[in-house]
Amino acid sequence: MFEKKHEPLLPRAAFVFRLGRCFGVTLLIVTVSLLMGSVGYRHFADLSWIDALLNAAMILTGMGPVDHMTTTAGKLFSTFYALYSGIAFLTMMAVVLAPLIHRLLHRFHLDGEVDDDQEAT
């Protein structure tokens, strides 16, 4: 997916396209996670759709739950959804930041490269 260390730096337009593609993957992860959380809260905690979406969004962003879970099924779902959300957050950050960090490291590598002719003199 990324250029190798001896390849030239990706042109700016292609890099912006790569960033957009990674951002799209992140949006897909957010959408699937919110859908999964909303359906789970609706089914296991017997919340309305808007309350289920609110709880899913708050857990996914790390803000914490809004509604108190009263059923065992709701508490279990909330526990596992919170654990999943932590992993999903880390995954989303990795997907968004990977192209930026790779470009930065690739640029440092290219700047530090010395030609064999210069090294001999």
Q: What is the pTM of this model?
A: 0.78
Residue 48 lies in a domain: yes
Residue 8 lies in a domain: no
Confidence of residue 12 (pLDDT cuts 50, 70, 90): confident
Residue 7 lies in a domain: no
Q: Tell me, what CATH number does 70's domain have?
A: 1.10.287.70
Per residue, the 3-state secondary structure of 11-65, as one string, reads CHHHHHHHHHHHHHHHHHHHHHHHHHHHHHHHHHCCCCHHHHHHHHHHHHCCCCC
Q: What is the pLDDT of residues 44-70, one digit of tens each?
A: 999 999 999 999 999 999 998 899 999
Residue 119 lies in a domain: no
**Could you give the number of structural domains in the chain?**
1
